[in-house]
Amino acid sequence: MALGIFGLVPPNVVIPSQFFVNALGTNKGYSSYNAMFLTVRKRLSHNLQLDFNYTYSHSIDNSSVIANNNGNFVSGSTQVLCNAYDLSACKGNSEFDATHQITSDFVYDLPIGRKQFLARNAPRWLDEIIGGWQASGIITWRTGLALDAVGGGSSFSLAADQGVNFTGSPSAVRSNIHTDSSGQVQFFADPTAAAAAFSPITGLTVGSRDTLRGPHFSNFDLGVAKNFPIFSEKYKLQFRADAFNAFNHPNFGLPNTGVTSSTFGVITNLAGQEPARVMQFSLRFDF
């Protein structure tokens, strides 16, 4: 007989002797999402059209890993419900939660050349040079995703590596991405103070979940095009140059959040994006 949390359980129930792990699929996960959306749209006028979208949101759950995976761990992750008997013990920010998000796009025809504000009566040969220019772009920005600080232990459930309680002040875990004395990219302004803001769990507690916020994300894609009318307005040749991550801005990945690790707060990769600016050139014929 094996001693369970609520008393005795029969042999080979929950803890079968012939298996190291006995996974159980259930529907005890839950989540909630609330958001405010703001959209500003300008239809094409005065050579400009644009969209601006802002989202203020909060997502809460008790597990942020996909559950429908035939009982297998996802991408090597071993995250499970930290307490199957008390679902609220795992409640916290979703690990995909971003409080503020902005996306915007625009298309602007430069007001230069024939029928435009500047040089509207330019001869055709001059208009071929100075007219028909267009700029466009897509802007994306969001605040950092929620992430967990872990202590390397499981006190309650298999692989539920919660491990630490957040007992310090928010200022102790303030972020300031910089290169430390060893040449590593460090997320925290003061990693020693950040580690001291957490304390080990005791007994069958599970610790604080998703109390940290990772690096923010921002990106600007820019396009420049030149339109050449051919014979008449019916036919048009367009040359276009696009720059993805136009300002060559790095977006850092999530830091190491193992409080007891010697590399606590160290960032070793970039967020899922091209590591540097990417250029694209194209020629298009419209008829």
Instruction: Let me know if residue 79 belongs to a domain.
Output: yes
Q: Is 4 a member of any domain?
A: no
- How far is 40 from 48, CA to CA, in rounded Å? 14
Per-residue confidence at 75, pLDDT binned at 50, 70, 90?
A: very low
Model confidence pLDDT, tens digit, residues 5-52: 455 555 555 555 666 556 666 677 788 999 999 999 999 888 999 999
Q: Half-sphere exposure of 67 toward its Cβ, with a 13 Å CA cutoff?
A: 14
Which phi and psi (to 5°) does residue 124 adopt?
-60, -40
Question: For residue range 249-278, what is the model confidence (pLDDT) as tens digits?
Answer: 889 989 998 888 889 999 998 887 556 889
Task: Kindly report, residue by residue over 145-169, the tens digit of the pLDDT.
Answer: 998 888 766 655 555 556 688 888 8
In a domain, 147, yes or no: yes
Is there a domain that residue 30 lies in? yes
How many domains is the chain partitioned into structurally?
Answer: 1
Is residue 8 one of the residues assigned to a domain? no
Spatial CA neighbour of 132 closest among 241, 208, 31, 236:
236
Residue whose structure tokens are 């036919």: 235
Q: Give per-residue pLDDT as tens, 92-133.
A: 899 889 999 999 999 999 898 777 787 777 777 787 778 789
- Strand, helix or coil for residue 279: strand
Residue 182: give the domain boundaries.
13-286
Q: Which tens digit of pLDDT belongs to each residue from 230-252?
A: 766 677 888 999 999 999 988 99
* Residue 240 placed within a domain: yes
User: Is 201 a member of any domain?
Assistant: yes
The 8-class DSSP code of residue 5 comes to T
> pTM value?
0.77
